[in-house]
Chains A and B, each alone.
Chain A
Amino acid sequence: MRPFEYARAASTAEAVRDFGPGTMYLGGGTNLVDLMRLGVAEPERLVDVSRLPLDTIEPAGDRVRVGATVRNTDLAADPLIRSRYPMLARAVLTGASGQVRNVATVAGNLLQRTRCTYFQDVTRPCNKRRPGSGCPAIAGDHAGLAILGSSDACVATHPSDMAVALAALDAQVHVTGPGGDRIVPMPGLHRLPGEEPERDTVLSPGDLITAVELPPPPPGASLYRKVRERASFAFALVSIAAVLDVGRDGTVAGCRIALGGVAHVPWRAERAEQALIGGPATGEAFLQAAEAELEQARPLPRNAYKVPLARNLIVATLEELAP
């Protein structure tokens, strides 16, 4: 690991002020420290923001504000979150292990990097790690990688479960930075790889996430389901966060669907949502909606299974949510 300086920020203002070239913010470190050991991340300076006073979960009118340094374990266990956003609590609990969740923060969870095997190995090319060096995953090992929104430069996936639930909940990410304070909506924090796969998010250097604000929970029933090879402690092959509101007349009044494990971003399935709203809440309609979404899929030979998996998962989850 390359030698680096370490400083602990006393306030968000100080953290932003002290941010310079070669600086990275350190949260729980469950991803960044691993990447530093591997030589994938080589910060000259770490500003530890994990002890900033941003570790509370507070109601704000009909909304809930979750501080950036709230630990994943505390988020999932919080009575307010469990009662009003059970889908979010469940998503967080499907991620990582108890030990990792005890340390990992909300902001760090959003900003964790892809687990693509080439990205994590500095001896092999990777456009995300070394722009322009190529993407060996496309011809090589891509079984866990993206089928939606990928580019010829990158087929990486975003690994977070929590972010998938937040994307379905229309969460708002509060950011402070050299350019002042602003709010970035979810989805929208993460970006598709395009020609610049090295950029995971729309944040600029020095931007610091301070909170995630949850709007009132959408009406209807919600569910988070994650598919993986083993029963625990694995990244999603595909996951889904879904909310379905069916009116008394049997038509879909509201629908939110976000998918994990399929794209460079937590993927909001807008085409499927639009296909469903106002229509009947039937298995046939769910299937048509899923297929409308997955028409855009660009699977590779070894991740083609994700297309039927995502389709089945959308249909089965909506069927479970339908009254």
Chain B
Amino acid sequence: MNRTEGRVKVTGLATYAAEYPVENVAYAFAVQAQIAKGRVRRVDAAPALELPGVLAVLSCEAAPRLAEDADPELALFQSREVAYRGQIVAAVVADSHEIARDAAAHVRVEYDADDHDVRLSSDHPGLYQPEVVNPNFPSDTEKGDVEAGLSAAATTVDVTYETPVLHNNPMEPHAALACWDTEGRLLVYDTAQGTSGSRALIAGTLGLPEEQVRVVSRHVGGGFGSKGTTRPQAILAALASRMVGRPVKIALTRQQMFDVTGYRTPTIQRLRLGADAEGRLTAVEHLAYEQSSTLVEFAEQTTVPTRVMYGTPALRTGHRLVRLDVATPSWMRAPGECPGMYALESAMDELACAAGLDPVELRIRNDPETEPDSGLPFSSRNLVGCLREGAHRFGWEHRDPRPGIRREGEWLIGTGVASSTYPARRSPCKAVATMRDGDVLIQVAAADIGTGARTVLRKIAAGTLGMDPERVHVELGDSDLPQAPVAGGSMGTASWGTAVVRACEDLRRDGKEGRADTTDEVKADAELARHAFGAQFAEVRVSAVTGEIRVSRLLGVFAAGHIVDATLARSQFLGGMTMGMGMALMEETVTDEEFGGFLHRDLAQYHVPACADAQHVEAYWLEEQDGELNPMGSKGIGEIGIVGTAAAIGNAVHHATGHRFRELPITPAKILMARF
């Protein structure tokens, strides 16, 4: 079955947020703070307003009031305070994008600057323990006696890893088009991973009843979390449109995306592991240091995957947060699991090396019966199966564990392994299925952010109805449709699919129309540990001359319930693994300690893997029968592909070079300076 919207996408006919043709449209361009902390003293808009084609300048000196309790990242122009460099402090509205951009440079903003602090460290005096970490986990957990477990251990490791600021960089920039009608109703074409939630957030920010707002996002050019919650462009378009009485369009530049659309917090993670002579864990401690802004407490759940992974009599996890003069971190593919599993799975490799055990075997020996932290039974858990299948496919049994001994010319060669995990959740969702002339229309406010949601939902509906998928049509990406949760947390298909199945079942009874609301069904789910698992294997070649690192093979095996569509699933896994390769070897946003804000704010400087980097990437899966998930028996797959990849590659670099690099990304510069 081909991707439903494949043809309109490749022919350029798919309409994205900034592309809707609207008459009399005006354009907005943001003016950003040039200090990292302080206050706006004065805004002189006159030089901008004098330019032909300029309609208005919004700022803290000229803007409509927003709701008192608006998210501070969305409460544009409501205060003179500047919380970070790059924050939106004003905006120009003009007849064209080019005029608006030029005029933005003519808005004179004067500041009273304070000293700023943008540097995360593990001894920062401002570190504190947040009450909860995202989305609602306890910050710290403790079970058993970690110190006793470590002292009793035959082998211990005590290691610290660092990950940098990372940015999502979807291809489609954050863009919005806002139109108010004469009744005071607002229509926003936004680039959003969910229109229902986006409508609620936009309405709440503007102080409007939800029914007066409609959000449409029919096509979204990637999000990875950065479009999971409403970003400032939607609010700015709405405010500007209200101010000038015309529809207003805005598309952030790539540089602006780095500043105001969120990022993955940098982390410093300390791991202490102990194992007995047989390689069974005696203690695990995982502590993460991370940052948030002064505006909002965003506490990444970095050590939460350690509560899921391995059996141990003593387990302590925790998070420490410091509020800096930086933008608020936000969602990035597998928040928590991705950075946390990088550190845990690197430390497990170090433990295997220290104990003289095969790293696959070490993981198998510590596979728990029940979820280590909660004690809950797993709905299904096939980590061991993934490790064994992956080891077989990769040819792991021939591996010589000694590091730094394989060389072809100038190239040092090594292999590494790491585990993956991601929760399998679902949320309440509504859907409607309507039969007309033998065709079925499915309506649900789901989002297709490039994953193939339309295609998958058609397939799920056709399967439930026993129909040809060609006669099933799916309408999504519109908040006027039945309410649905966000395309995030790898729970889109599980949530929407449940509602689609129930609506189709209702349609079979009724013959004309079926409706579903899965709130009660989801609430009635048994209390179980539900997670997908995987194993990733990497082969790297490291040049002893140049320090260049090339991933010659990357192989993942995943156990993620029933795979609904093999083609789409393979793309998701490969995409996640390739993004993990970027995290391992090249992605890094540099924080500017002198001036605040970020450096490397474009794709020429913030490197993601090119096609030439993805030489040989393979993804496989084990079909799982798990009746405790949803009617499809599926687990989400949008994020697990990125989890563990960086550790597998880092472990392979150690195996190749004999040197352990504990700060990502692992670059030629670091290889060369290690002088191994």
Contact = CB atoms under 8 A, between A and B. Distances in A.
Contacts of B600: 117, 141
Interface stretch (A81-89, A188-196, A208-216, A223-231): A223-231
Given A136-B595, A232-B611, A143 B669 contact: yes
A309 interface: yes
Interface in A110-163: 115, 117-118, 120-124, 136, 139-141, 143
Chain B CB within 10 Å — which of A229, A302, A305, A313 has the most?
A229
A235 B548 contact: no
Contact of A141 (B590, B602, B670, B673): B590
Interface string B554-596: 0000000000000000000000000000000110001011110
Contacts of B102: 1-3
Interface string A1-28: 1110000000000000000000000000
A83 to B, nearest CB: 26
A16 to B, nearest CB: 29
A235 B600 CA distance: 13
B670 to A, nearest CB: 8
Interface in A302-323: 302-305, 308-309, 312-313, 315-316
Given A115-B604, A141-B590, A229-B667, A308 B610 contact: no
B669 A305 contact: yes
Chain A CB within 10 Å — which of B98, B101, B545, B592 has the most?
B545
Interface in B596-617: 599-602, 604-605, 607, 609-613, 615
Contacts of A230: 585-586, 607, 609-610, 612-613
Contacts of B607: 229-230, 234
Nearest to A96: B604
Contacts of B669: 143, 237, 302-303, 305
Nearest to B665: A229
A1 B101 CA distance: 6
Contacts of A136: 594-595
A233 B672 contact: no
A67 B301 CA distance: 58
A123 B613 CA distance: 34
Nearest to B591: A141
B668 interface: yes
B425 interface: no
Contacts of B519: none
A316 B612 contact: no
Contacts of B675: 308
B410 interface: yes
A222 to B, nearest CB: 18
B34 interface: yes
A161 to B, nearest CB: 14
A115 B667 CA distance: 19
B667 A233 contact: no
B592 A141 contact: yes
Contacts of A3: 98, 102
Contact of B410 (A39, A237, A316): A316
A83 B253 CA distance: 43
Contacts of A229: 548, 585-586, 607, 665, 667-668
A223 to B, nearest CB: 13
B312 to A, nearest CB: 37
B550 interface: yes
Contacts of A117: 590, 599-601, 605
A288 to B, nearest CB: 17
B414 interface: no
A231 B673 contact: no
A310 B308 CA distance: 46
A305 B106 CA distance: 41
Contacts of A302: 669
Contact of B592 (A1, A140, A309): A140
Nearest to B669: A305
Given A117-B605, A232-B613, A233-B610, A305 B599 contact: no
Interface in B522-567: 545-548, 550
B105 interface: yes
Nearest to B551: A231
Given A141-B590, A316-B410, A39 B105 contact: yes
A237 B671 CA distance: 13
Contacts of B32: 123
Nearest to A312: B545
A230 B578 CA distance: 12
A309 B547 contact: yes
A134 to B, nearest CB: 10
Contact of A232 (B595, B610, B670): B610
Contacts of A227: 546-548, 668
Given A230-B613, A232-B611, A304 B605 contact: no
Contacts of B253: 37
A225 to B, nearest CB: 8
Nearest to B604: A115
A305 B98 contact: no
Given A124-B595, A305-B669, A232 B545 contact: no
A37 B592 CA distance: 22
B593 A140 contact: yes
A229 to B, nearest CB: 5
B183 to A, nearest CB: 37
Nearest to B550: A231
Contact of A305 (B586, B604, B673): B673
A272 to B, nearest CB: 17
Contacts of B592: 124, 140-141
Given A304-B673, A309-B668, A123 B599 contact: no
A235 B604 contact: yes
B612 A231 contact: yes
Given A1-B98, A305-B673, A309-B672, A231 B613 contact: yes
Nearest to B52: A3
Interface string A269-311: 0000000000000000000000000000000001111001100
Interface in B635-676: 665, 667-670, 672-673, 675
B672 A308 contact: yes
B179 to A, nearest CB: 26
A115 B607 CA distance: 14
A123 B34 contact: yes
Nearest to A159: B604
A141 B585 contact: no
A102 to B, nearest CB: 17
Nearest to A122: B105
Interface in A229-283: 229-235, 237-238
Contacts of B672: 305, 308-309, 312
Contacts of A235: 604
Nearest to B549: A229
Interface in B393-447: 410
17 contacts: A1-B102, A2-B102, A38-B255, A123-B32, A124-B592, A124-B595, A140-B599, A228-B548, A229-B548, A229-B585, A230-B586, A233-B612, A305-B673, A308-B673, A309-B547, A313-B545, A316-B545
Interface of B: 32, 34, 98, 101-102, 105, 253, 255, 410, 545-548, 550, 585-586, 590, 592-595, 599-602, 604-605, 607, 609-613, 615, 665, 667-670, 672-673, 675
Given A141-B599, A229-B607, 18 more contacts: A3-B98, A38-B255, A117-B599, A117-B600, A121-B599, A124-B592, A140-B592, A140-B594, A141-B600, A230-B585, A230-B607, A230-B609, A231-B550, A233-B610, A235-B604, A302-B669, A304-B673, A316-B410
Nearest first, the 4 closest Cβ-Cβ pairs linking A and B are: A231-B612, A232-B612, A305-B669, A232-B610
